[in-house]
Structure 1
Amino acid sequence: MGGYTLIENAPLANRNTLRVAARAKLLAEFRDASRLPELLDFPAIRNSRLLVLGEGSNVLFTGDFDGTVLVMATRGVQVESDGDSARIAVAAGERWDDFVRWTLGQGYAGLENLILIPGTVGAAPIQNIGAYGCEVAEFIESVEAWDTREHCVVTLDHAACAFAYRDSLFKHEPGRYIVTAVRFVLPRSRPLRTDYAGINEQLARMGVDKPAPFHVAEAVVHLRMSKLPDPAVIGNAGSFFKNPIVDAALAEQLKRDHPGLAVWPQADGRCKVSAAWLIEAAGFKGMREGDAGISQRHALVLVNHGKASGPELWALAQRVIAGVQEKFGVRLEPEPLVIGASA
């Protein structure tokens, strides 16, 4: 069928990086976003639950999905440049890491700290992906989406997207917007962010004293590969737990009691604290229950050692959340979307 492919009772184990066995009542893979309204008007789909899936790198299925999974496989990059910067419109189905590497190859700055993050471009604004002191929201001018409530294409500017730490409008109105494209503004030159999580130390090991964006990207690749397990080797969804943001008084108390805890002051007066430190200090790093486990390499990463089910992985995640809250009085939240369970 032109523009999209439909699959009934579709297996999802190869469409999520945790490799959880699950099925969707119907799966629609799109190559042409303009056909989206037509498909969504099908009687079998019109009143069904919808789930938009990119590479499945930010989702945990705790059961089958009794609805329609939409997979955006659209491609395309359009550039408008004025010399010092560029406005770049990118189709939702483009792979995020491929796009970041393309921007570096074209001489644009800004996304170097976000290299090697799995997923698609369309997924990036939904949870405002971030790493190594940088968030994608800083470079997003607007997001194009299909509004399932108003039944039309909308362009949401930066302010309308309501970006916050690992958050956006799209998470507060789940299912309403289907992202079809993202427009970025990237400069040719900007101050580099190298003072976060060992980047400067890695640059020194590389012998780089005057780094360019591609040097920072290389340093981040080294750091990510040394700390985070490869989903191609062992099932995982990257960082499973968000760094919690707590009141300044609690952060101060935690820092007094635990000098090794990393604390980052926020603009609103609160503080972000290291979830990885809390999880490791609570004794969960490297824990394994059957095939469900917490990575020995990084305490934020929930891993599937083989055939762990979604409920088994979620049960372990809940045990970690309860253990950290009991020990430190801080409640962790999952970063991925948990399908079929109350988070």
Structure 2
Amino acid sequence: MLVEKNVPLQSSNTFGINAKALSLARIRSEADIAAVLQDAAWRAAPKFILGGGSNIVLTGDVKPLVLKVEIMGKRLAAETAKAWIVEAGAGESWHGLVTWTLQNGFPGLENLALIPGTVGASPVQNIGAYGVELQDRFDSLDAVDLTTGQPFTLNAAQCAFGYRDSVFKHASSGAAGFGLAGKAIITRVRFLLPKAWKPVLGYADIEKKMLLRKVDVPDALQIYEWICEIRRAKLPDPKVIGNAGSFFKNPTVSPEQCEDIIQRDPKIVHYQLADGSVKLAAGWLIDACGWKGKSIGNAGVYDKQALVLVNRGGSANPVTGGEVMTLAKAIQTSVYERFGLRLEPEPVVV
């Protein structure tokens, strides 16, 4: 196993922040993980797991040993009378997997098309879009304990999925704690895709496409194509304008809180959830505070979608992690002062 030194990470994070990994090991198999843990120089060293770099903000050079996940492979792992179980390596492109499943006749992930990042990061964040969350299509995952080197498998319940949350985002607390943040590395993920496929609709953008195309019951490929069109129209391509996708989680409030806000701001975008709570559109809140198109240094709020912070300096004069977080904190303050709500960032700050 080769541990590379002073590896530039500008092309390995979608914000395009200029930073480097002081030490980096490329993980292309379970054997590479074993080699790291068997090396006395690295066994007990702090470690940072890096996938596609689509959900991180680098505020400086990364001092822990970076484990760059590059485990590849896609396959139909099993088939039952009711479902297909598809498996993918943690280093695979998420959108590439979505495309592959549809090309091979396994629908179910189409609403999650064009989300940046890797397969291994998808359960960590419990990614979601347009009415579908990863947990809705999840079967199980394989991982390796970074302390013992032992492989293990988790089902959905053991992953403790929540809104943009999982056991992989929490540190263990006490003897009974089961947080796995920084303690495990995901190697493969399996998805359960029901054969009794039903389209997940109900979002205004999708309904507009149905009316425009005069389609009452779209198939999976149509939904996939529409989602790609919608996302490309609203969100900047990280290869063109550096960004980390949606920067803040949509806050959830009680019906009473929502009604109070509606009394002051009748146009607020909100969605009723099954448990009775109400999800508010964070992008709308930010836009209402006047941040769309504004900048602090080279960190800006995207002029087409206020939920996205962007790198206005490009690759030549890239934004710094400090500028991104200064802008994020200013937005949080504005939203709290106007609506009494605290926006929570989605990306991991390193």
State the Cα deviation string for residues 74-132 of structure 1 (Å, max 9, x = none).
11123122354211121111111010011111122211100001111000000100011
Match of 2:145 in 1: 147
Distance 1:270 1:207 in 2: 33
Among residues 112, 119, 122, which one is paired with 1:121 in the alignment? 119
- The one-letter amino acid of 2:349's match is V
Match of 2:135 in 1: 137
Residues 1:294 and 2:301 are matched in the alignment = yes
Shift of 1:239: 0.4
Correspondence 1:1-343 to 2 at 5 A:
1=1, 5-79=2-76, 80-82=78-80, 84-172=82-170, 173=179, 174-306=181-313, 307-339=318-350
Q: CA RMSD in A?
A: 1.4
Distance 2:272 2:38 in 1: 47
Shift of 1:24: 1.4
Comparing 231-240 and 187-196, the one that deviates more: 187-196
Unaligned runs of 5+ in 1: none
Shift of 1:150: 4.1
- Please say if residues 299 and 324 of structure 2, whose CA atoms lie closer than 8 Å, have aligned partners that are also in contact: yes
Shift of 1:295: 0.3
Distance 2:34 2:142 in 1: 14
% identity of equivalent residues: 43
Comparing 16-25 and 141-150, the one that deviates more: 141-150
- Give aligned pairs, total: 336
- Please say if residues 31 and 72 of structure 1, whose CA atoms lie closer than 8 Å, have aligned partners that are also in contact: yes
- Please say if residues 104 and 214 of structure 1, whose CA atoms lie closer than 8 Å, have aligned partners that are also in contact: yes
Shift of 1:266: 2.8
Comparing 38-47 and 190-199, the one that deviates more: 38-47
Please give the secondary structure, in 2, of the residue aligned with 1:159: helix
Dislocated runs of 4+, deviation >6 Å: none
Distance 1:37 1:197 in 2: 48
Please give the secondary structure, in 1, of the residue aligned with 2:279: strand
Shift of 1:53: 1.0
State the Cα deviation string for residues 178-218 of structure 1 (Å, max 9, x = none).
10011111123322112114102113323433310010111
Distance 1:52 1:99 in 2: 20
Distance 2:127 2:273 in 1: 17
Distance 2:308 2:144 in 1: 32
- Per the alignment, do residues 248 and 144 of structure 1 end up closer, same or farther by CA in structure 2, a change over 3 Å counting? same
Distance 2:333 2:55 in 1: 22
- The one-letter amino acid of 2:340's match is G
Distance 1:314 1:26 in 2: 25
- Please say if residues 255 and 263 of structure 1, whose CA atoms lie closer than 8 Å, have aligned partners that are also in contact: no
Distance 1:28 1:252 in 2: 51
Comparing 259-268 and 132-141, the one that deviates more: 259-268
- The one-letter amino acid of 2:330's match is R
Q: What TM-score does the superposition give when structure 1 sets the normalisation length?
A: 0.94
Distance 2:194 2:52 in 1: 28
Distance 2:191 2:279 in 1: 27
- Please say if residues 296 and 326 of structure 2, whose CA atoms lie closer than 8 Å, have aligned partners that are also in contact: no
Please give the secondary structure, in 2, of the residue aligned with 1:8: strand
- Please say if residues 203 and 215 of structure 1, whose CA atoms lie closer than 8 Å, have aligned partners that are also in contact: no
